[in-house]
Amino acid sequence: MEKAKKAIVLALSSLLLLSAWLPVSLCAQKPVTVARREDVPFIKCQVCEKLASQLHNQVQKKQSDISPKKISEYEIIEIAENVCNLKKVEADWILKIDIVEKGDKLELVEQDAEGICNSECKTIEKACQEIMGYSDTDVAEYLYKSKPRVDSFVDFMCKDLTGACNKKPPPVPAGRTPGEAFMTKPAKEAEMEKILRSMEGMPGAPNMKMYSRDDLMNMKNIGEEDDDEDDDDEDAHFPSKLGKVLRGKEGKPEDWKQKLTKTIKTTGDVLKRRANKVSNGVRQWWRGMKKAYTKKAVPKKAKQSKSEL
């Protein structure tokens, strides 16, 4: 429990610098937008083509990043599972697409920068999820074993596997209400949200959200509990009074920024190490279970063979 609390303290401290970059107005809760399900049939084939290209490119990039190590099928499945989820960095490509009305058709137009996510953004996400469905493992297996070119993979996914492009999209009704205009997201806000998405699912950092500087200044007593004997060595360096650290910035702004920058880096390193520990623990447990099962199964088979004789 203590470890979880300290991990949350680290996660909050990593947001201190980000909140200082942004106006308080950006920390306010944003209006909720929903997908326009009726628009999905008009864009399904185009979304599938872009989805397939993104999957291919992201797998290639992952392979390049970990080279000379070979990318595993599990890592490809992970990309396929996240590529249609706007809470994950793998789905950032959706934020750069605008839906443009052209006569009785809807066209997906890629922009240079990320836009503010509105109903059009959610509609593309919905279409992407409908296309992918439960095909993530099939997609991963094909990419892992066949290593196709991007054009071959687009044909496989959008025609053979999902059928998203096997027929022409229906015409858009004349009375359809136009979607919102594409609005470019401020660069600092885009960077902040990207960091939050990259931390999604990390141990000790669930359901993270932005806080204003005033909120953070009032967090005086976070992390003052006694340390557990089993705490890792890095826990000793966790900040105990976030409000005090934040108020200290007035006298030495440059020194304050350097400290928080270092804290953000430390946060990411610590959380990654903890995630790796959990993953290794699960793997060891599974190996132990398989080994125990094998030991039980072998004598049973031997006994059956003996009785038959």
**pLDDT score of 67 more than 90:** yes
Q: Which of 136, 152, 156, 140 is CA-nearest to residue 71?
A: 140
> What was the pLDDT predicted at 215?
52
pLDDT in tens, 267-302: 767 676 777 777 677 777 777 776 666 666 555 544
- Structure confidence at residue 64 (pLDDT): 95
Give a three-class secondary structure readout of 29-72: CCCCCCCCHHHHHHHHHHHHHHHHHHHHHHHHHHHHHHCCCCCC
Contact 247, 218 (CB under 8 A): no
- The tokens of 157 are what? 């996914």
pLDDT-derived band at 218, boundaries 50, 70, 90 = low
Q: What is the DSSP letter of 115?
A: B
